[in-house]
């Protein structure tokens, strides 16, 4: 019978700078722990220190570095990465010790150190030498989660490109020494060759992504005159649950960070005339890497081109306001802050009566709901319909008998209020968005 590999163990490291409160620092470390759990690792310890900044070469002071090294089995000293030579007797002794450890699992040391900040390549290298563990910063964890969760071709291309941009400056020569290449590219070190391959691959990915995004842009152009709602917000705020409740679709719903990376567009149910399209977008997070924001341009364009944004917030999270600001900041970055929006305080089933009253007082215009309560979802649906009704106009369309094939497009793009017939064709009184009606008028006049 095959045995499963052990779950990787990790230690979290946080630096609290003077501009960060204790509550915010603890919340950030807790969120990092959830990211690490999403990655499939188990957190077995935390080391935290208050410092003026995060620019030090070792990040931590000597005492805290020694504390961290004690957890990971490192020396606490920045030395060579090459392992010291061992005698045959020493190797036999350690081999026997490994057998005992694997049986008892008592002496296992964490293999990973996860730092709640973005690190420079030299900081990563120094920490790895001091701790004897592999070091990942917050950006590296997020990029790796995106890499594992990307499903569609567009998302995979986007994530691979962001991943390579993250990896490239952090490449270094192997401990065995890179040497020089023979043949094509002679004179290049192994490191330089690897970096050139990455640059070539990024260029190739850009070309492929542009082709895929042109198709996505065309699909969005075809939907430009339709009623479009985009669910936006922090990761794990409940957007996918709300998407499923509004549309009846079987989108992925998991209690994990970044369970959704691919934009899903579905028709709101029960279906209205004209139809309302609802899109679920990639979640945001504090310190979302800029390369990922740039890579997901196509995905985030759903928010930019929507008629209405619903900011979904986990109201049961004590840091929900900071999470909301992160979401708004990312949308400002892509220019979507001008799109009309409503605040949705979700997961109200986890909030007590006093908490509800405080939320209503603080956010009087917000919609309080639980995505799992049918009556709440129904009320939100009515709110969405009322929003679009206020934007609609009424007009009369004359559909010649020679163009009866367009009747389906009329019923799909607008609500038909009345229908009469005369010698020229059908006389339709309709209600819909001005752009959709103008497009229908052009089709009928062509």
Two structure tokens written together for 68? 């961290």
Per the listing, tokens 């600001």 go with 325
**Ramachandran bin of 47, using left for φ above 0, alpha for ψ from -120 to 50, beta for the remaining angles:** beta
Which residue(s) pair with 396 in the sheet?
Answer: 429
pLDDT at 331 over 80: yes
Which residue(s) pair with 113 in the sheet?
Answer: 11, 135
Confidence of residue 350 (pLDDT cuts 50, 70, 90): very high
Euclidean distance between CA atoms 394 and 200, whole angstroms: 55
Number of helices (H), then strands (E), belonging to the chain: the values are: 15, 13
* Range in 179-183, 295-299, 353-357 with the lowest mean pLDDT: 179-183
pLDDT of residue 282: 76
Helix/strand/coil for 426: strand
The torsion of the CA quartet 325, 330, 333, 337, rounded to 10 degrees, works out to -60
Compute φ and ψ for 72, nearest 5 degrees.
Answer: -95, -10
User: Which strand (E) or helix (H) includes residue 331?
Assistant: helix 320-333
Q: What's the pTM?
A: 0.75
Per the listing, tokens 């569609």 go with 152
Across the range 260-283, mean pLDDT stands at 82
Q: How far is CA 371 from the centre of its chain?
A: 20
More confident: 256 or 57: 57
DSSP 111-134: SEEEESS---HHHHHHHHHHHSSE
Two structure tokens written together for 247? 């549309």
Q: Are 272 and 385 in contact (CB under 8 A)?
A: yes
pLDDT of residue 101: 41
Closest CA to 271 of 405, 406, 415: 415
More confident: 165 or 296: 165
pLDDT of residue 430: 95
Euclidean distance between CA atoms 327 and 320, whole angstroms: 11
User: Which strand (E) or helix (H) includes residue 416?
Assistant: strand 415-421
pLDDT tens digits for range 355-385? 999 999 999 999 999 999 999 999 999 999 9
Per the listing, tokens 């998991």 go with 254
Burial of 415 from C-beta contacts in 10 A (0-12 / 13-18 / 19+): middle
Two structure tokens written together for 42? 């188990």
* Range in 76-85, 124-133, 213-222 with the lowest mean pLDDT: 76-85
């Amino acid at each position: 019978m095959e045995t499963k590999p052990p779950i990787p163990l990790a230690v979290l490291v946080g630096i609290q700078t003077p501009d960060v409160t204790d509550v915010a620092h603890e919340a950030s470390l807790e969120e990092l722990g959830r990211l690490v759990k999403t990655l499939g690792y188990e957190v077995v310890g935390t080391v935290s220190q208050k410092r003026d900044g995060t620019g030090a070469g070792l990040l931590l002071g000597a005492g805290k570095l020694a504390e961290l090294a004690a957890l990971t089995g490192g020396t606490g000293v920045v030395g060579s990465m090459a392992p010291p030579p061992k005698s045959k007797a020493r190797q036999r002794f350690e081999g026997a010790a490994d057998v005992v450890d694997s049986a008892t699992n008592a002496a296992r040391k964490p293999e990973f150190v996860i730092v709640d900040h973005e690190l420079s390549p030299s900081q990563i290298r120094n920490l790895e030498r001091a701790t004897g563990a592999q070091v990942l910063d917050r950006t590296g964890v997020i990029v790796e989660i995106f890499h594992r969760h990307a499903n569609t071709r567009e998302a995979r291309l986007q994530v691979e490109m962001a991943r390579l941009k993250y990896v490239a400056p952090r490449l270094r020569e192997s401990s065995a020494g890179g040497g020089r290449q023979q043949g094509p590219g002679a004179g290049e070190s192994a490191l330089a060759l690897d970096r050139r391959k990455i640059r070539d691959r990024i260029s190739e990915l850009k070309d492929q992504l542009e082709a895929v995004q042109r198709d996505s842009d065309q699909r969005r152009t075809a939907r430009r005159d339709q009623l479009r709602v985009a669910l936006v917000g922090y990761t794990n705020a409940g957007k996918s649950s709300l998407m499923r409740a509004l549309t009846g679709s079987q989108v992925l719903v998991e209690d994990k960070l970044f369970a959704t990376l691919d934009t899903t567009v579905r028709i709101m149910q029960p279906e209205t005339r004209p139809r309302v399209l609802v899109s679920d977008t990639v979640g945001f997070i504090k310190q979302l890497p800029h390369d990922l924001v740039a890579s997901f341009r196509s995905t985030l364009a759903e928010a930019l081109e929507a008629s209405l944004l619903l900011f979904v917030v986990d109201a049961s999270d004590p840091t929900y306001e900071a999470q909301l600001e992160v979401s708004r900041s990312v949308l400002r970055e892509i220019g979507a802050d001008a799109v009309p929006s409503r605040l949705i305080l979700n997961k109200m089933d986890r909030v007590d009566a006093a908490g509800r009253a405080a939320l209503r007082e603080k956010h009087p215009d917000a919609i309080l709901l639980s995505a799992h309560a049918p009556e709440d979802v129904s009320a939100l649906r009515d709110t969405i319909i009322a929003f679009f009704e206020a934007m609609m106009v009424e007009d009369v369309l004359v559909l010649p008998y020679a163009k009866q094939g367009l009747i389906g497009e009329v019923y799909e793009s607008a609500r038909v209020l009345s229908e009469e017939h005369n010698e020229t064709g059908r006389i339709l009184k309709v209600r819909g968005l001005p752009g959709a009606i103008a497009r229908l008028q052009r089709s009928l006049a062509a």
